[in-house]
Amino acid sequence: MLELKNVSFVVSNDADGKELGIIDNVSLSLDEGKFYVITGPNGGGKSTLARLIMGIEKPTAGQIIFNGEDITNLSVSERAKKGIGYAFQQPPRFKGMTVRRMLSLAHGSELPEDECCAFLTRVGLCSMDYLNREVDTSLSGGEVKRIEIATLMAREPMMAIYDEPEAGIDLWSFTMLVESFRMARNENSQSTTVIISHQERIMQLADEIIVIADGKVRTKGNKDDVFPTLLGEFDRKCGLRGSEEGADNA
C-alpha cells in the first residue's frame, strides 16, 4: 500500500545556517488493512514522518509510493484524493463552518443527522450539543481535536493518519476514542490506520509497532514482540532513576 524508499528530510538552522537532519534515510513499508502505531522519544521524527506521508512537508531525498504510484511530489490535496487522510495534532478552526457541515463535506455527501451524531458520540462528544456549532474559537482545543478525528472517521480514507489523537483529551473521552479505534479496526479490514502515540492502550490495538528515534526506524515488528521490549526499556529507566534518587538521599 505505502512504501517509503530512502526518505530523508533536512532543514536549515536559521541561527547558524547549518543543516539539521530530521528524517535520515528511512525505508518503510505499510500494508493494506493493518493498524500501525508509530512511537518513540520526543523529537525523534515521528510527526515529521507522518507529515511527509501526507505531503505537508516534502522530502529532501527519497521516494514515497502509494498503491504503486510515486506521490513524492504530489500536494496535500492530491494525496487526499488518492485516499490519504490526516488528523493534525493541533487542528485548524473554521469560522462559519458547522460541525455537521464539516462531517458531511468529509464524507463526500450530506450525512443524515443520526450518522453525524454517531461519529461525534464515538469521540466522546454529546452530539446534540455540537452538531450545529461552528468549528471556531468558541471550542476548546480538545473539542476541536475530537471533532477533527470524527471528521476523518466520516471520510473513511484508504489510509488514515492520526497525530497524537490523545493530546488534549480528557480520560473519559480518551476511553471512548480507544474504543472507536478498536471498532474501526474490526469493521474496516481494507483501511490502513497509522497513529502517532505514546499511549499504551493505543499501542495494544496495533498489528505492528514502529519505533522512530533520531530520525531513523529503530524497530518495526509485531506488537506482541515489540511492546514488551518497550515496557522493559521503560522499567529499566525507572529503576535507574530510582537508584539514583536513593543514592542522593543516602
Q: Enumerate the H helices of the chain as residue ranges.
A: 46-54, 76-82, 99-107, 113-122, 127-130, 141-155, 171-187, 200-203, 223-249
Note the pLDDT of residue 235. Answer: 61
Helices 141-155 and 113-122 sit at what angle, rounded to 10 degrees?
Answer: 120
Residue partners of 227: CB distance under 8 A and separation at least 6: 203, 204, 206, 209
Note the pLDDT of residue 242. Answer: 44
Note the pLDDT of residue 237. Answer: 61
C-alpha cell belonging to residue 90: 493541533
Helices 99-107 and 141-155 sit at what angle, rounded to 10 degrees?
Answer: 30
111 has a pLDDT exceeding 60: yes
Of the candidates 167, 126, 127, the one whose C-alpha atom is nearest the C-alpha of residue 145 is 167
Locate cell 525507572: which residue? 238
Range from 25-34, 83-92, 104-113 carrying the lowest mean pLDDT: 83-92
What is the amino acid identity at position 232?
A: G
Of the candidates 99, 105, 73, 76, the one whose C-alpha atom is nearest the C-alpha of residue 88 is 76
C-beta neighbour count of 215 within 10 angstroms: 21
Note the pLDDT of residue 238. Answer: 59
Instruction: Please compute the mean of the pLDDT values over residues 128-155 and round it to a whole number.
Output: 87
248 has a pLDDT exceeding 60: no
**pLDDT interval class at 244 (50, 70, 90):** very low
